[in-house]
Amino acid sequence: MPKTASSRKARKTFSLSRETVRYLESLRKERKKDSMSAVLEDVVRQLQQAKELERISASVSHYYDTLTDEQMAEDRAWGEFAETQFPTED
């Protein structure tokens, strides 16, 4: 399968503290990865996901923080209506 421009890897050299290298090596063994690069990619991906969740959470909070009293009452009414649409448990 041919690699696309976005899937090609870029070779970079980094200087890391010995403590960081030991930690990454322990992650490599723990996660059973073949390379430190794979571990670093996992770490970066996790950080990206955490940042995206923070952004989404902030966006949702902003939405609800800026609702007017009228909009909140309407949302509450729709929620109460929706609850009546579920079958009751006997």
**Residue 41 is assigned to a structural domain of this protein:** yes
**Residue 7 is assigned to a structural domain of this protein:** no
pLDDT-derived band at 5 (thresholds 50, 70, 90) equals low
Q: Cite the DSSP H helix spans in the chain.
A: 18-30, 36-65, 69-83
**Residue 56 is assigned to a structural domain of this protein:** yes
Is the pLDDT reported for residue 66 higher than 60? yes
**Residue 9 is assigned to a structural domain of this protein:** no
**Residue 1 is assigned to a structural domain of this protein:** no
**Residue 75 is assigned to a structural domain of this protein:** yes
Residues 6+ apart with CB under 8 A from 55: none
**Residue 40 is assigned to a structural domain of this protein:** yes
pLDDT at 72: 95
Distance CA 5, CA 85 (A): 50
Distances in Å between the alpha carbon of 59 and those of 54, 63, 72, 78? 9, 6, 17, 21
Tokens of 86: 């579920």
Domain around 29: 18-83
pTM across the whole model: 0.68
For the residues 31-47, what does the mean pLDDT come to?
95
Q: Provide the domain count of the chain.
A: 1
